[in-house]
Chains A and B, each alone.
Chain A
Amino acid sequence: TQLLEQSPQFLSIQEGENLTVYCNSSSVFSSLQWYRQEPGEGPVLLVTVVTGGEVKKLKRLTFQFGDARKDSSLHITAAQPGDTGLYLCAGSLNYQLIWGAGTKLIIKP
């Protein structure tokens, strides 16, 4: 049983478009992390959200933690080919990290 569901599993869009990736659970997390993984590399942390309703921005990326701390979203504005990668969310639950299965994002020039 997947505790953390990510959607969509795969997304391929044109450069310049906007997109949103979702991370959902029935569990309440004390915090949630977003990572990006490029081919041949390990995941790299993008952001950690801690407070319910929190919004963090990283250039064209906007991360939001749900009010109930059960879900999160990542919105990318004007996507660029450099945004291509596997986006993983991971929630902190009972001092362990629970991982989503990832969203594979391809941005076509």
Chain B
Amino acid sequence: DTAVSQTPKYLVTQMGNDKSIKCEQNLGHDTMYWYKQDSKKFLKIMFSYNNKELIINETVPNRFSPKSPDKAHLNLHINSLELGDSAVYFCASTPSSGANVLTFGAGSRLTVL
């Protein structure tokens, strides 16, 4: 039973399209995150939600909109996709906010053509 699951695992799309990535955790954690890992493998935090409330919103284009319907789910919607959005997006969760140990999903590889 996967602790943090995200779908889809692979996503190939054209520039200008809109796409969503979904994430669910069954760990009972309060805090969820979206990270972006670029081609150089650097992990950069994008957003963090604690109990459905946005607590971290790094400098990310407003084409990226997270949504947390409940504390077990955190989805990421991306409008007007650009070539530079190609990356692997990781969902993660922690028991609470703060620098706790992260449990990551397997990642969603987005390729924008």
Contacts and interface: CB of A to CB of B under 8 A. Distances in A.
B102 A41 contact: no
B7 to A, nearest CB: 14
Interface stretch (B60-68, B70-78, B91-99): B91-99
Contacts of A31: 99
B101 A41 contact: no
Interface residues of A, number: 24
A1 to B, nearest CB: 13
B41 A86 contact: yes
A44 B4 CA distance: 12
Nearest to B9: A40
A86 B107 CA distance: 15
Given A45-B102, A95-B98, A88 B107 contact: no
A90 B33 CA distance: 15
Given A43-B43, A101-B40, A102-B42, A92 B99 contact: yes
A41 B106 contact: yes
Nearest to B97: A95
Contacts of B105: 42
B90 interface: yes
Contacts of A86: 41
B41 A102 contact: yes
Nearest to A101: B42
A91 B41 CA distance: 17
A88 B41 CA distance: 10
Interface string A12-24: 0000000000000
Interface centre among A43, A48, A86 (most CB of B within 10 A): A43
Q: Which 3 A-B pairs have the closest CB atoms?
A: A42-B104, A92-B99, A95-B98
